[in-house]
């Protein structure tokens, strides 16, 4: 009995190295003269290199929601990096401030893309990441950002936009785009009218890009964020079925781009 108890105590003190555990760390980097700080998440039980996924936050800034998505990706076996698109630790819960920061980044498409590319470079350079298997996901402002990343010609297998604004690409941008595109869009999103969505689809088809869009009935803007309702913004609402279904659609998409059909 004593021997068994001793082995049990040793097991508690020294858990099996094969047990999965998600780790996170903060990484400081820079774009021009703007200091940035992102969060890396990975499963330390996986010795071999894994696909890397960039995570781009909503217009509120790099908050806990974006970091939680990075952790969820790590639980699935990916190495995820939640980037900082504003810098200087800027996070807010005020729509006017969030709009100001987002517009500052969006004002120059080249700089917008360059800042996203800086985050992608940080992810690519991690030892546990397979640099040949990269993707990006983004929410709201972040959804638009990952599309801009694709338009830049970034070497990513695919990007996923969750309730993004669907920026219309120029012909030059679509010619550069190599990534496959998954658009997860709320069919009741009041911030994008049907004419804009049609223009986006036409631009994708005209360039013969590999894209698909999934519409979620009744889903409004920010449908993936469980905390969306607290902002009290008309048209912004969490939708659990759409959130869960879009996450599953993302996983199917990743299986395709990283492991083949």
Per-residue model confidence as pLDDT tens digits over 168-221: 999 999 999 999 999 999 999 999 999 999 999 999 999 999 999 999 999 999
Burial class (CB in 10 A: 0-12, 13-18, 19+), 208: exposed
Q: What is the mean pLDDT of the chain?
A: 93
Q: Are 122 and 128 in contact (CB under 8 A)?
A: no
Read off the pLDDT band of 261 (50, 70, 90): low
- What local confidence, expressed as pLDDT, does residue 18 receive? 45
pLDDT at 165 over 50: yes
Total length of the chain = 261
Read off the pLDDT band of 120 (50, 70, 90): very high
Per-residue model confidence as pLDDT tens digits over 232-244: 999 999 999 999 9
Report all structural domains of the chain as residue ranges with CATH numbers, in order of start.
25-259 (3.40.50.1820)
Read off the pLDDT band of 8 (50, 70, 90): very low
Among candidate residues 30, 35, 39, 68, the one with its CA nearest the CA of residue 247: 68
Q: Are 56 and 66 in contact (CB under 8 A)?
A: yes
Read off the pLDDT band of 7 (50, 70, 90): very low
Q: In whole angstroms, what is the distance from residue 48 CA to residue 130 CA?
A: 9
């Amino acid at each position: 009995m004593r021997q068994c108890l001793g082995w049990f105590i040793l097991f508690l003190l020294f858990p099996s190295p094969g047990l999965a555990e998600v780790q996170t760390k903060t990484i400081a980097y820079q774009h021009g003269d703007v200091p940035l700080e992102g969060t890396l998440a990975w499963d330390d039980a996986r010795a071999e290199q894994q696909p890397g996924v960039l995570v781009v936050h909503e217009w509120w800034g790099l908050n806990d929601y974006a970091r939680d998505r990075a952790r969820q990706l790590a639980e699935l076996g990916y190495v995820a990096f939640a980037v900082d698109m504003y810098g200087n630790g800027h996070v807010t819960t005020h729509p006017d401030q969030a709009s100001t920061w987002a517009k500052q980044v969006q004002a120059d498409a080249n700089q917008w893309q360059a800042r996203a590319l800086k985050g992608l470079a940080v992810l690519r350079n991690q030892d546990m990441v397979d640099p040949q298997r990269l993707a990006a996901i983004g929410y709201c402002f972040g959804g638009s950002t990952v599309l801009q990343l694709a338009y830049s010609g970034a070497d990513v297998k695919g990007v996923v936009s969750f309730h993004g604004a669907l920026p219309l690409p120029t012909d030059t941008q679509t010619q550069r785009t190599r990534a496959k595109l998954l658009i997860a869009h709320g069919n009741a999103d009041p911030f994008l009218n049907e004419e804009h969505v049609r223009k986006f689809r036409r631009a994708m088809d005209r360039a013969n890009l590999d894209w698909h869009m999934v519409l979620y009935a009744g889903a409004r803007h920010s449908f993936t964020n469980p905390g969306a309702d607290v902002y009290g913004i008309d048209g912004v609402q969490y939708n659990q079925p759409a959130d869960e279904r879009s996450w599953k659609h993302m996983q199917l998409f990743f299986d395709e781009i990283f492991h083949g059909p």
